[in-house]
Amino acid sequence: MAASQTSLEEFYGREIILADRELVETGADQILKDADTEDIAFLVVGDVFGATTHTDLVIRARELGIKVEAIHNASVMNAVGACGLQLYQFGQTVSLVFFTDSWKPDSFYNKIMENRKIGLHTLLLLDIKVKEQSIENMARGRLIYEPPRYMDIATAASQLLEIEEIRNEQAYTPDTPCVAVSRLGSPTQTFKAGTLKELSQYDSGEPLHSLVMLGRQVHDLELEYLYQYVDNKEEFKKFVEKDQEFFKPPPYVPPEEDELNWEYSD
């Protein structure tokens, strides 16, 4: 995503056709044309199978008898380990889309709740709006695109807090510890750990960004790594400890004598 079309063409020594979302979603026939006899490469950002559209493209190719070979790449789903949280401690990944005045989809809320109930971290992927039309232009059939928009950390954290305020089921709170992940894998990669409330005021700079919400199962080694990215180590530790009380399994209470022998009581 950081490389220009020209530099990619120089690197590969071949012409490159930009495949935007429209082409990938509706132009599968065009992409697969002649791919049974010629070598056609389909370059993607991140991992090949990160998007259902790509899986769909493979299915179509196989139906046409076109041989497909995938060369895997790092993606945010595994590179996020760079923040110091262990990948096997992550639950399902969720997506956060830009709210509008009338549209505030909150399906992520239940998913975060599910992850947090079993103590797992949640990777939140933040909305990217590229080549989007305004409703007016779409209605008038004008192919004029809005400038690209990338959700930043402050917006993501604010939207999360807005939904918690409405639902109030404490899937998370303003004090829940999170990690802001900015420009992952690039030379200006930055991490910032803090509470959700703190991050709602964080200036995360240039895109792209992701957010990780911590789960209860955070290990000492993970925490030690995160301390590099906090303003105040002691304070952050307190928030982590406080957060660990959420969804904590109840302490073990040994059964009463008569409960153990209930089969024999009358």
* Candidate ranges 74-82, 193-201, 206-214, 236-244; the one touching its own copies (CB under 8 A): 74-82
Tell the smallest beta-carbon distance from residue 69 to its own copies (Å): 8
CA distance 2 to 186: 8
43 close to 3: Cβ distance less than 8 angstroms: no
- Which residues inside 6-65 make contact with its own copies, applying CB under 8 A? 47-50, 52, 55-56, 58-59, 62
From 106, 114, 127, 162, residue interacting with its own copies (rule: CB under 8 A) = 114
Is position 120 an interface residue for its own copies (rule: CB under 8 A)?
Answer: yes
The DSSP H or E segment spanning 233 is helix 233-243
Q: Mapping DSSP to helix (H, G, I), strand (E, B) and coil, where does residue 232 land?
A: coil
Residue among 109, 188, 197, 122 nearest 154 (CA): 197
Binding mask 90-109 for its own copies (x = CB under 8 A): xxxxxx--------------
End-to-end CA distance of the chain: 73
- Please confirm whether the linkage preceding 221 is cis (ω < 30° from 0): no
Tell the smallest beta-carbon distance from residue 149 to its own copies (Å): 22
CA distance 248 to 263: 31
Nearer to its own copies, 31 or 58 (CB): 58
Q: β-pairing, 122-126 with 94-96?
A: parallel
- Which residues inside 146-165 make contact with its own copies, applying CB under 8 A? none
From 28, 73, 97, 233, residue interacting with its own copies (rule: CB under 8 A) = 73
Is position 75 an interface residue for its own copies (rule: CB under 8 A)?
Answer: yes
217 close to 250: Cβ distance less than 8 angstroms: no
Tell the smallest beta-carbon distance from residue 79 to its own copies (Å): 4
Binding site membership for S-adenosyl-L-methionine: which residues? 47, 50, 75-76, 126, 184, 209
CA distance 125 to 239: 23
Give the interface with its own copies as residue ranges (CB under 8 A): 47-50, 52, 55-56, 58-59, 62, 70, 72-75, 77-79, 81-82, 84, 86-95, 114, 118, 120, 185, 221, 224-225, 228
